[in-house]
Amino acid sequence: MNARMLMALPFAILVLSSCQQRAVRSTGSAAAPPPAVAYEAHVAAGGRVPPGGTLHNPHQGDKAVAANGALLFTAMNCDGCHGPDATGSVGPNLGVGRWRYGGADAEVFMSIFYGRPKGMPAFGGVLGEEGVWTLVTYIRSLPKADNLATESWEKP
């Protein structure tokens, strides 16, 4: 490293750290979940699972919250894309137990909070953590169809 680069270094650090601050601020005031979760459904190369946060659904199995989630599912127009009772339309069926991005609580949370690339909007900004967990609780409460039209390599 020459002297000019050395002189520029503090400036570069300053710019970088202010970018970082902005990135943190842009996630909003909603209590921030970890940036990534450990995906249960993913295959870890060499059996070594990369570090990831864990999220716990505060309403797991709560039927009253699931019922609220069903109302929110309609109010937020989730059913406009996923169909009534999440049975599928332009968005996938969320009740068959077959997931593109994983069906564990944390994985469903990430799908709704941050969205998914092929047409799933990110709802974390408008619903916050509590709203998204309410929807996760509803989706996880959906009865699993026992007569699936197609088979998955993974048992639902």
Which two tokens mark 149? 């039209």
Is 142 within 8 Å of 108 (Cβ atoms)? no
**Contact range with ligand HEC by CB under 6 A, out of 17-25, 52-60, 114-122, 140-148:** 114-122
Least gap, CB of 18 to ligand HEC (angstroms):
33
- One-letter amino acid of 56: H
Q: Under the criterion CB under 6 A, does residue 116 sit at the interface with ligand HEC?
A: yes
Applying the rule CB under 6 A, the residues between 13 and 32 that interact with ligand HEC are none
Q: Quick one: tokens of 31?
A: 């209590």
End-to-end distance of the chain based on CA atoms, in angstroms?
56
Pattern 78-97, ligand HEC, x by CB under 6 A: x-xxx-------xxx-x---
CB of 38 closer than 8 Å to CB of 53: yes
The closest alpha carbon to 107, from 46, 45, 154, 145, belongs to 154
Per CB under 6 A, which of residues 126..145 are in contact with ligand HEC? 135
- Smaller CB distance to ligand HEC: residue 12 or 154? 154
Q: How far is the CB of 4 from ligand HEC (least distance, A)?
A: 46
Tokens representing residue 28 in the block:
């909003």
- Residues in contact with ligand HEC by the rule CB under 6 A: 73, 76-78, 80-82, 90-92, 94, 99-101, 108, 111-112, 116-121, 123, 135
